A and B are shown apart, each in its own frame.
Chain A
């Protein structure tokens, strides 16, 4: 195992910290939020740079439009809310006002997936990857851990054009041990472990769970290759095409319709690869209330459940 799980740290905290750091470097960086700045951590930027922070109130559609306008005047714009409202409520504003004119707006959302927990289905966004990755010009990133988030946000600020970044609410185990080690390479998946029995492709907060599953598989003598896919669009096709394993398992805290698994399925179909794909994720249902830990188990997304599901798949082959 090349990487060891570390203590739990919030990706959204990394977002807030990095915004403050970038705010010092980049005088034309501005941040918008829609009454969730405490949760998204843009409040950290607001405190450091009150003149460049704009709380637009509970008005996500207008936030995306204003973000577009600010980008037209040459600003680097970060716009944040929960994944549900940022991408769901304001989808068409993102498409028409931001992505079509290819403007320099970074939509950075927190509270993705079912691990939002107790708030339940109305707040558990399990369709955001699907609805963002189908928009031309839009790039979609789901960082792996606290350290990689820092690098992702820095990349966003320093590269032109629209990006969507999704992060969970809960703190998750670090996968990398420093920012240098976590240095983000846009459009490249990362092989965290080699293995010749199957390939696991996980994204975002599912990477630590995938690592736990991989360790359990190892105890059974099953060697899995593990890829962390932080960039979901444009996805790293070569990694999938060049993988020599027949079984590919995708893992995401997102609907299996339209997300990471679907993106990998598209590569398999496009290249006519002879591979089996097991999509692990939310199986086209809505979320429910519960603690994040209980929900991961309920939806089969914790390391143990993933391990058992993969074993079953291998046995049934």
Chain B
């Protein structure tokens, strides 16, 4: 089991530096690919960075070690953030990032289990959550003391399968499962509450039997403290962290801009974005 030591200010500064670099690489790889999903990648970046750099027990040199913590990116379209982190940590050659989405490239448009460090093939929204529940159940059967993390989009929570999975995680008492909802309040066609109201997601998950927390998903101290708190509650309940975030976080003209959900920056925008992230 990984033990998280209390965070120091210097740790947080370091994580912020890393996150900025990851954001730079996300925007660059999507710009070079001329396609991809910058908005949801940038809103999820801090959560993924906190998990891989501070929270999870994992080893890039031994990616299949049995007792590792496992992360499933259920909102698979945000994979540039995951890829950038995995590359930086040495799961594969960083040069791969610049070949994203090209024929014959390692890095597929959505996460594939064939990529080192990627634990589940996702991209069809709703499905990764069930897979994570299955993984958590499998780890429980193997009597492992590891943790399974899963990251959902808020729009993704409109999928019925999400609630089937939520029911099952509670039923099987999977307190080794910690979920995040990237609550950036946008999906493709607009605001979540305009497209299909999610209402109080906290109450919804609570009603499904989960322990629920709400945080600022761009505040490393809150992310880490909350995961620690969730881990300390070995009460048979799965945990869900509703993380309030900003879609496009870190690039001024992408922030809160639904137009950058699934659109790559053009050359001029790329240059501007990279300058902001340098």
Query: Chain A contacts of B141 at CB under 8 A?
Result: 30, 51-52, 70, 73, 75
Q: Is the CB of A73 within 8 A of B135?
A: yes
Within B101-139, which residues are at the interface with A (CB < 8 Å)?
Answer: 112-114, 119-121, 123-124, 126-139
Query: Is A10 part of the binding interface, using a Cβ–Cβ cutoff of 8 Å?
Result: no
A residues engaging B (CB < 8 A)?
A: 30, 51-52, 54, 56-57, 59, 61-62, 64-75, 92-93, 96-97, 100-101
Contact of A69 among B114, B126, B130 (CB under 8 A): B130
Contact of B131 among A54, A65, A75 (CB under 8 A): A65
Query: Chain A contacts of B139 at CB under 8 A?
Result: 73
Q: Is the CB of B119 within 8 A of A72?
A: yes
Please name the residue on chain B nearest to A56 by beta carbon: B168
> Nearest 7 pairs between A and B by C-beta?
A69-B134, A65-B130, A73-B138, A62-B164, A66-B134, A59-B164, A69-B135
- Shortest Cβ gap from A293 to chain B (Å): 37
Interchain CA distance A100-B172 in the complex, whole Å: 27
Contact of A59 among B137, B168, B172 (CB under 8 A): B168
Contact of A61 among B130, B136, B171 (CB under 8 A): B130
Q: How many A-B residue pairs have CB under 8 A?
A: 105
B residues engaging A (CB < 8 A)?
A: 112-114, 119-121, 123-124, 126-139, 141-142, 160-161, 164-165, 167-168, 171-172
Interchain CA distance A61-B160 in the complex, whole Å: 9
Query: Chain A contacts of B112 at CB under 8 A?
Result: 100-101
Interchain CA distance A194-B104 in the complex, whole Å: 48
Q: Is the interface of A mostly helix, strand, loop or mixed?
A: helix
Additional pairs, 15, CB under 8 Å, beyond known A56-B164, A61-B160, A70-B141: A52-B141, A62-B133, A62-B167, A62-B168, A65-B130, A65-B161, A66-B133, A66-B165, A68-B120, A69-B120, A69-B130, A72-B113, A73-B135, A73-B141, A101-B120
Please name the residue on chain A nearest to B129 by beta carbon: A65
Interchain CA distance A75-B137 in the complex, whole Å: 11
Q: Is the CB of B172 within 8 A of A69?
A: no
Query: Chain B contacts of A51 at CB under 8 A?
Result: 141
Query: Chain B contacts of A57 at CB under 8 A?
Result: 164, 167-168, 171
Q: Is the CB of A93 within 8 A of B130?
A: yes
Given A62-B168, A97-B121: A72 and B135 interface contact (C-beta under 8 Å): yes
- Shortest Cβ gap from B203 to chain A (Å): 21
Interchain CA distance A56-B123 in the complex, whole Å: 23
Query: Chain B contacts of A73 at CB under 8 A?
Result: 134-135, 138-139, 141-142
Q: Is the CB of B121 within 8 A of A101?
A: yes
Q: Can you sample 18 A-B contacts with CB below 8 Å?
A: A56-B168, A61-B160, A62-B133, A62-B167, A65-B130, A66-B131, A66-B134, A66-B137, A69-B134, A70-B137, A72-B120, A72-B134, A73-B138, A93-B124, A96-B121, A97-B131, A101-B114, A101-B121
Given A72-B119, A73-B139, A100-B112: A67 and B134 interface contact (C-beta under 8 Å): yes
Query: Chain A contacts of B161 at CB under 8 A?
Result: 61-62, 65, 93
Please name the residue on chain B nearest to A55 by beta carbon: B171
Contact of B130 among A30, A66, A75 (CB under 8 A): A66
Interchain CA distance A97-B141 in the complex, whole Å: 21
Query: Chain B contacts of A68 at CB under 8 A?
Result: 120, 130-131, 134
